[in-house]
């Protein structure tokens, strides 16, 4: 990782000419507007800077490798959530050197939990992470030229990663992940997640963050059945919140099922990179509900555009996303104003959909073959990186200064 203070990108995997190009994606006016907004509650910015990324993963042979994971109360979490939603940092802002890793290592502790301790604890699992990825990356030979089975090879997303270094390293990271998590049999989001993380983090950090997402169950499914459940839930949510949009899709497309199967790719494959980076800011704090909100909004906006057309093509929404006519601020504003779309509701719908799909498959004798791989029911995981004990801790006092005025 280059220590160039002029930008936050992992210059080992992005070409210098590309760095110049992507740093121009946000207009000067938008950057100035965001700089003005950065001066709001300083405590939030301090919280996102708690880990000095230059000290993390600097060398896999360093036995003292660690990162600090901080616990926050419900109140602090909600205030931070609205803060992150409202701020659009440029993709080259210096905060991005450590923003994502600090967001994903925050632990939300319910106010009802009375067992609380200090708000920060050393995360010693990082040493294990470094050992794992070093051993695997060095042992992988050139014969491993195929992607892991959990990757959707029809929707590979590399963004600005160089082919020789960036894409090759991404491939090896995913092979390493596959070797340590054989129960993950189909998880298309792992590839774009990894590619995005690699733009700002080195391979050790990426591997660690992928395991954090796995522990949180934020990968949007780990089997074909779970992926199908997520898709079905998205379709039901669209019919509930934007029924007229769902009706238009059903009328315009002969295979609406195929249309809905693309719901995550509208975000990760087609939206501009600067939009995607901001969406990841929110996703890494709030989880998959952010992706549901964004894709619901994209369909709603798309159907407004095609109301008066007579032909429908699956690529139309892809083109709409590529040339999206509204700003990322406006997209987020609409998405986060969908009323009563809560994380718990989504989780319950997904669980119910998984059970329904599993019961349906069990009705057919032919589906009983190889149930362990295809049922989609994953036993309680003993992760390669043990869940830190401080995930259940609560800070003795707020980490943020409640005297700061900030309105949700």
pLDDT tens-digit map of 196-227:
999 999 999 999 999 999 999 999 999 999 99
User: How many angstroms separate the CA atoms of 209 and 364, rounded?
Assistant: 39
- Over residues 317-371, the pLDDT tens digits come to 999 999 999 999 999 999 999 999 999 999 999 999 999 999 888 775 554 445 4
Residue 334 to residues 50, 131, 230, 328, 343, Cα–Cα distance (Å) = 31, 44, 22, 10, 17
pLDDT at residue number 291? 99
CA 185 to CA 32: how far, in whole Å?
45
Give the other-Cβ count within 10 Å of 338's Cβ: 17
Output the pLDDT for position 133.
Answer: 58
The domains of the chain, with CATH numbers, are 16-125+388-392 (no CATH), 142-180+188-215 (no CATH), 224-345 (1.10.472.80)
- The model's pLDDT over 73-111, given as tens digits with 9 standing for 90+, comes to 888 889 899 999 998 889 988 888 889 999 998 888 875
State pTM to two decimals.
0.78
Q: Lowest-confidence range among 11-15, 203-207, 289-293?
A: 11-15
Q: What local confidence, expressed as pLDDT, does residue 135 receive?
A: 61
pLDDT at residue 364, rounded to an integer: 57
If phi over 0 gives left and psi between -120 and 50 gives alpha, with beta otherwise, what is residue 166? Answer: alpha
């Amino acid at each position: 990782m280059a220590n160039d203070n002029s930008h936050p990108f992992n210059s080992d995997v992005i070409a210098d000419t590309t760095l110049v190009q992507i740093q121009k994606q946000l207009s000067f006016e938008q950057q100035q507007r965001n700089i003005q907004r950065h001066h709001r509650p300083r405590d939030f910015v301090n919280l996102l800077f708690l880990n000095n990324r230059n000290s993390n993963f600097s060398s896999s042979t360093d036995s003292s490798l660690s990162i600090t994971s901080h616990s926050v109360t419900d109140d602090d979490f909600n205030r931070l959530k609205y803060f992150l939603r409202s701020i659009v940092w440029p993709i080259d802002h210096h905060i991005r050197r450590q923003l994502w890793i600090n967001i994903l290592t925050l632990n939300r502790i319910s106010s009802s939990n009375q067992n609380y301790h200090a708000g920060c604890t050393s995360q010693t699992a990082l040493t294990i992470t470094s050992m794992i990825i070093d051993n695997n990356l060095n042992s992988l030979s050139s014969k491993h030229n195929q992607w892991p089975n959990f990757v959707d090879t029809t929707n590979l997303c590399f963004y600005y990663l160089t082919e020789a270094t960036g894409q090759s390293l991404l491939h090896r990271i995913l092979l390493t992940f596959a070797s340590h998590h054989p129960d993950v049999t189909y998880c298309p989001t792992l590839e774009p997640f990894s590619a995005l993380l690699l733009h700002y983090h080195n391979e050790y950090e990426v591997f660690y963050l992928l395991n954090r997402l796995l522990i949180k169950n934020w990968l949007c499914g780990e089997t074909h059945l779970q992926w199908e459940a997520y898709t079905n839930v998205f379709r039901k949510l669209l019919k509930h919140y934007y029924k007229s949009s769902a009706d238009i899709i059903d009328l315009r497309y002969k295979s609406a099922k195929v249309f809905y199967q693309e719901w995550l790719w509208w975000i990760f494959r087609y939206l501009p990179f600067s939009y995607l980076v901001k969406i990841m800011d929110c996703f890494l704090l709030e989880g998959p509900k952010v992706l549901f909100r964004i894709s619901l909004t994209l369909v709603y906006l798309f159907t407004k555009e095609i109301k008066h057309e007579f032909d429908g093509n699956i690529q139309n929404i892809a083109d709409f996303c590529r040339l999206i006519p509204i700003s990322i601020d406006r997209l987020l504003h609409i998405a986060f104003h969908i009323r009563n779309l809560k994380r718990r509701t989504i989780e319950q719908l997904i669980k119910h959909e998984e059970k329904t799909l599993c019961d349906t498959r069990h009705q057919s004798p032919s589906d009983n073959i190889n149930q362990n791989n295809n049922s989609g029911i994953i036993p309680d995981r003993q992760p390669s990186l043990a869940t830190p004990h401080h995930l259940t801790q609560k800070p003795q006092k707020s980490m943020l200064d409640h005297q700061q005025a900030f309105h949700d």
